[in-house]
């Protein structure tokens, strides 16, 4: 049985696709996951057994570069011995600096390397490894910052989704819910903007619409304040922290307001939930904007820049969406058109063939 290692770490945007790869491969191959401490919080060890390797971010603090570089070199040696001990034959990386030592060690050991780029902008780590990888798995052919000479390495698939998602029905409603159901996903980065802004926008909306709100919050200190404000405005609400199983409720929502990490908007797209994307402005190479732009170009979503938003304009913007029903339902139909071919079996067969043919 072929031995495969999936290297991932950092954010949920890296780890969730890694778990999808694991589930696709585990019945056919001997698969392991390796991550860092940051990535481990997104993994349930009962479902996804993993090992942890410490990898420093070399450029996190300028004055620590010499020390971090030393420990980074150590991590390459650790990766080398890990790969050799476990007799790894195929290395899959979901990007991020955590995966670099394993990719470099794989190069030394002549292990076949496969990259995953779920974003619409080529990540810096993936760009560094691109020249000696076998293939890079992408969701679209038009990836920003992708060197044309390596186009032959692209392997296109539809967005990776967690297996459990396919067991839930899509939202095919032809009208809004009686109480308009809004989902707010702030993401793990820059979530303070969402926590502070959404409350006032939703309260403004509640003056003209019946709202049922589910809001993901990241500052538990303001939870009681938000609960009180929503109660006073008679807004039905559910406030949640990071929840890996949030997708189980996606098909109940009419509209989402979200950051535009690749996993989050791929899942919303699958469930046919039109969304307002507010890209995280500090995302590297503005990749969240280009993730959302892909869907906007297909008339599936709306994009707002965070620095251009104020409470009044944002409230009016959402009101226009709820009033202009033709535009809303056109976007909903377009989402269905681009996601209906996304099935577990289709993607599974593509990935199995990728390994067997290499």
CATH number of the domain bearing residue 222: 3.40.50.2000
Contact 309, 315 (CB under 8 A): no
Residues 6+ apart with CB under 8 A from 110: none
The rounded percent of the chain whose pLDDT value lies above 90 is 66
Tokens of residue 40, six digits = 């481990």
Domain span at residue 287 reads 166-339
Question: SS3 for 357?
Answer: coil
> Which of the residue ranges 150-154, 204-208, 226-230 has the most confident prediction, judged by mean pLDDT?
150-154
Q: Are 215 and 274 members of one domain?
A: yes
Out of 54-58, 110-114, 276-280, 302-306, pick the least confident. Answer: 54-58
What is the total count of domains within the chain? Answer: 2
Q: Are 131 and 187 members of one domain?
A: no
Helix (H) or strand (E) holding 165: none
Residues 6+ apart with CB under 8 A from 190: 259, 280, 281, 282, 306
114-153 in b/e form (b: 16+ CB < 10 A) is: bbbbbbbbbbebbbebbeebebbbbbeeebeebeeeeeeb
Closest alpha carbon to 6 in 279, 29, 254: 29
Q: Are 124 and 137 members of one domain?
A: yes
Q: Are 219 and 307 members of one domain?
A: yes
Number of H helices, E strands in the chain: 12, 13
Q: Are 171 and 283 members of one domain?
A: yes
Residue 87: burial class (beta carbons within 10 Å; 0-12, 13-18, 19+)? exposed
Residues 6+ apart with CB under 8 A from 173: 254
Q: pTM score, two decimals?
A: 0.91
Torsion angles phi and psi, residue 139, rounded to 5: -95, -10
What mean pLDDT comes out for the span 36-61? 84
């Amino acid at each position: 049985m072929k031995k495969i290692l999936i290297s991932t770490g950092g954010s949920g945007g890296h780890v969730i696709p890694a778990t999808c790869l694991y589930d696709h491969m585990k019945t056919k191959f001997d698969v392991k996951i390796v991550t860092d401490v940051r990535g481990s919080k997104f993994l349930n060890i009962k479902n996804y057994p993993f090992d942890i390797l410490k990898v420093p971010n070399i450029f996190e603090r300028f004055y620590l570069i010499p020390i971090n570089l030393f420990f980074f070199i150590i991590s390459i040696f650790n990766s080398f011995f890990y790969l050799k001990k476990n007799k790894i034959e195929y290395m899959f990386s979901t990007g991020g600096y955590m995966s670099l030592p394993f990719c470099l060690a794989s190069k030394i050991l002549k292990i076949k390397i496969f990259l995953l780029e779920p974003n619409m902008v080529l990540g810096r780590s993936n760009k560094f490894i691109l020249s000696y990888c076998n293939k890079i798995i992408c969701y679209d052919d038009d990836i920003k910052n992708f060197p044309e000479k390596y186009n032959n390495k692209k392997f296109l698939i539809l967005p990776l989704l967690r297996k459990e998602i396919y067991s839930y029905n899509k939202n095919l409603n032809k009208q809004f819910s009686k109480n308009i159901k809004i989902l707010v996903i702030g993401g793990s980065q820059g979530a303070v903007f969402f926590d502070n802004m959404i409350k006032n926008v939703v309260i403004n909306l509640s003056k003209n619409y019946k709202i049922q709100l589910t809001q993901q919050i990241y500052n538990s200190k303001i939870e009681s304040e938000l609960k009180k404000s929503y109660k006073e405005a008679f807004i039905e609400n559910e406030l949640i922290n990071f929840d890996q199983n949030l997708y189980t409720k996606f098909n109940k929502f009419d509209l989402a307001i979200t950051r535009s990490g690749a996993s989050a908007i791929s899942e919303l797209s699958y469930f046919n939930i039109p969304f307002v994307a507010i890209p995280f402005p500090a995302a590297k190479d503005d990749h969240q904007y280009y993730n959302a732009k892909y869907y906007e170009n297909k008339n599936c979503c709306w994009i707002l820049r965070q620095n251009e938003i104020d409470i009044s304009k944002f409230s009016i913007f959402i009101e226009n969406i709820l009033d202009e029903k033709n535009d809303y339902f056109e976007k909903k139909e377009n989402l269905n058109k681009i996601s209906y071919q996304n099935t577990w079996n289709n993607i599974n067969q593509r990935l199995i063939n990728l390994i067997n043919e290499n």
